Amino acid sequence: MKIYIIRHGEAAKSWEVDRDPELSLRGREQAQNISDILAKEDLNDFQIISSPLRRAIETAKPISKKLNKEVEINESFIEIPSPGIDMPERPSWLREMFSKDVDQFEKPQADWRDKIINVTHSFTSPTLIFSHFMVINVLVGYLQKSKKIVTFYPDNCSVTKMSLNQGMLSLEEIGSSQESVVN
């Protein structure tokens, strides 16, 4: 069973300025482009899931229209929790998180990571997940058995492909990457 996780398109504002920005014009173009690419595959049996954040939902909309399917919002795939971190402090906090091993996470981040992995293992149908930089890294790092939270830098609208077979999740293809702004 196929599971694709797609990073949202470019956000109109950065993470430290707006907790839930919409897509930029470029981000909307990226969302349409990835929809066109995905539509070349047989996705009729796929469910579409998105993080509750606008940039992920807006990235999912073009393919949901093409497939005539609703986007299911799933809190499990929201960006890394940063409770108690003020907006201006978020970039430095996130840079600090980049260098941590997953066993150094505090409870909110450890619970968030576990939930992502457990929910992904529980899928019963092929799935498109529209989500975020750190969520993708959780799954890729887990599947690569890495202790690091950040194992690569997924580009906006990159598609990372996994499969789930008899409860075993495996990595099929890592999405395109580049040194990018986390937004």
5-40 residue pLDDT tens: 999 999 999 877 888 999 999 999 999 999 999 999
183 located within any domain: no
Q: What's residue 74's pLDDT?
A: 98
Q: What is the pLDDT of residues 90-124, one digit of tens each?
A: 888 988 998 899 999 999 999 999 999 999 999 99
Residue (of 120, 123, 98) closest to 109 by Cα position: 98
Strand-pairing partners, residue 170, are 163
Q: What's residue 182's pLDDT?
A: 53
Q: What is the pLDDT of residues 150-175, one digit of tens each?
A: 999 999 999 999 999 998 999 999 99
178 located within any domain: no
Q: What's residue 181's pLDDT?
A: 52
Cα–Cα distance between 87 and 57 in angstroms, integer? 22
> Strand 127-131 and strand 2-7: pairing?
parallel
Q: What's residue 91's pLDDT?
A: 85
DSSP labels for 32-99? HHHHHHHTTS--TT-EEEE-SSHHHHHHHHHHHHHHT-PEEE-GGGSPPP-TT--GGGHHHHHHHHHT
- Residue pair 128/48 in contact (Cβ under 8 Å)? The answer is yes
Average confidence score pLDDT of the chain: 93
CATH of the domain at 72: 3.40.50.1240
- Residue pair 27/8 in contact (Cβ under 8 Å)? The answer is yes
Could you give the number of structural domains in the chain? 1
Domain containing 115 equals 2-173
Q: Model-level pTM?
A: 0.94
